[in-house]
Amino acid sequence: MDDRLITRARNTRARFQQVFSNPPQVVAYGPGRVDLLGSHTDYNEGFVLPVAIDLEVMAAGRKRKDRRIRIWSHNFGKLSAFILDNIESDTKAKWSNYARGVIKCMLDAGYELGGADVLLDGAVPIGSGLSSSAAVEMAVAMLLQSLFDLEIADTELALVGQKAENQFVGINTGIMDQFASRLGKSGHAVFLDCRSLEFELVPMPMEHVRIVVADTMKRRGLVDSEYNLRRGQCEQAVEALKPYAREARALRDITPEQFEENRNILPKALRKRAEHVIYENERVLKARELLRIGDLDGFGNLMNASHDSSRDLYEVSCIELEAMVGAARRVPGVLGSRMAGAGFGGCTVSLVEKDMVEEFQRLVSAEYYEKTGVKPIFYVCTAADGASVLEVRS
């Protein structure tokens, strides 16, 4: 465990003691993630290439003798409580619903849980596109798995988190966020087939580059965005193309050749959505090969193409994202820059030569402030390990 995580665990343990007047028995964490490539391909059963990052949600917990769950959020400074036998969505403490959903889905899957006091302490900026929700879900799942001595496979734990977000919170996300948060590995990107859940840990040659995440400070909420609309449009496009690709059940199954031959049968909006997803899958497959041979220049070009397609075809960009990406691409030493997450705000991710990281932050901050009047926040990230238990005490 590195020094930073040791310090974070110590601080989380002290906060738990202060709130609940007892020390925690378990401290776990779930990292955020940034998608290097694979914009909106996950729920189309396609391919994605994220990394877990060294920004995380810490979760500390202690068993109770009853069936009551109390969750304290250090970030919100609020408590949310419920009984295991009656888990409902909390409209006032919406932040608690991600944890509530995980607990309910674990119970529905037959896992035996008891009451617990839980403290959440997050370093993943909320609404930034770095998947603070998956970080919460995986931190809570890892905590409960250890606290109640459960045996749950890594992929199953990721699916529990996705189910919680889909069915309890009501956001139709794919599996990428939870999978990367659980199965990420230091120094590697995660190539994931979102249909089969087969994955490959692809080494990232990071000796001379850094992953720089820039927060536009434009917040977005997936429930209130057009995310679900885009998902529906993709499903409509598949149905329209099925006569020409009879085995297709998702856009992942439509080849570029099939799309080009039949693109004109689609209404304009559906055609644009399908074109983005189909060629984004091709970019992810190409990116995996480029990482295998260490071609980061080619990889950066694919990042740029991904962003441009997300903007022009999937139409999920905004003024703030365009200002940030435009500024980033003008800095020497930037190999590629694109929006992170679902779009509509949040963060960008750039691959930057190590020696230019400080200059990148200075130049991009100045240009972004000039265009928007907002000072961005930067996170210089590494590809980190997935969710884990940091300490267990009796």
The whole-number pLDDT of residue 362 equals 98
pLDDT over threshold 60, residue 197: yes
Q: Which pLDDT score is estimated for 6?
A: 92
Read off the pLDDT of residues 296-346 as tens digits, 9 standing for 90 and up.
999 999 999 999 999 999 999 999 999 999 999 999 999 999 999 888 888
For the record, the structure tokens of 93 come out as: 């403490």
| Same domain assignment for residues 218 and 276 | yes
Give me Rg for the CA atoms of the chain.
21
% residues pLDDT > 90 (the chain): 88
**Confidence check: pLDDT of 187 > 90:** yes
What gap in Å lies between CA 375 and CA 324, rounded to an integer?
11
- pLDDT more than 70, % of the chain: 98
CA atoms within a 13 Å half-sphere pointing along the CA-CB vector of 289: 6
Question: pLDDT grade, residue 246 (50/70/90)?
Answer: confident
Structural domain including 43 reads 3-203+384-392
* 232 in any annotated domain: no
Same domain, 356 and 388: no
Same domain, 49 and 170: yes
In this structure, is the dihedral angle defined by the CA atoms of residues 269, 270, 274 and 277, taken in order, positive or negative?
Answer: positive
Residue 88, φ and ψ in degrees, nearest 5: -125, 160
For residues 97 and 221, state if they share a domain: no
Q: Which of 177, 215, 253, 385 is catalytic?
A: 177
**Whether residue 143 sits in one domain with residue 219:** no
What sign does the dihedral 220-222-226-230 (CA atoms) show? positive
Q: Which residues touch 63 (CB under 8 Å, ≥6 apart)?
A: 25, 114, 115, 116, 147, 148
With a CB cutoff of 8 Å and minimum separation 6, the contacts of 86 are none
Residue 292: predicted pLDDT: 95
CATH number at residue 176: 3.30.230.10
Mean pLDDT of the residues in the chain: 95
In this predicted structure, the answer to whether residue 1 has a pLDDT above a threshold of 80 is no
pTM: 0.91
Instruction: Give yes or no: 177 in active site.
Output: yes
Position 224 scores a pLDDT of 53
Instruction: Give the containing element (helix H, strand E) for 381.
Output: strand 377-381
240 within domain boundaries: no
Residue 223: pLDDT over 50: no
Dihedral, CA of residue 217, residue 231, residue 55 and residue 6, to nearest 10:
150
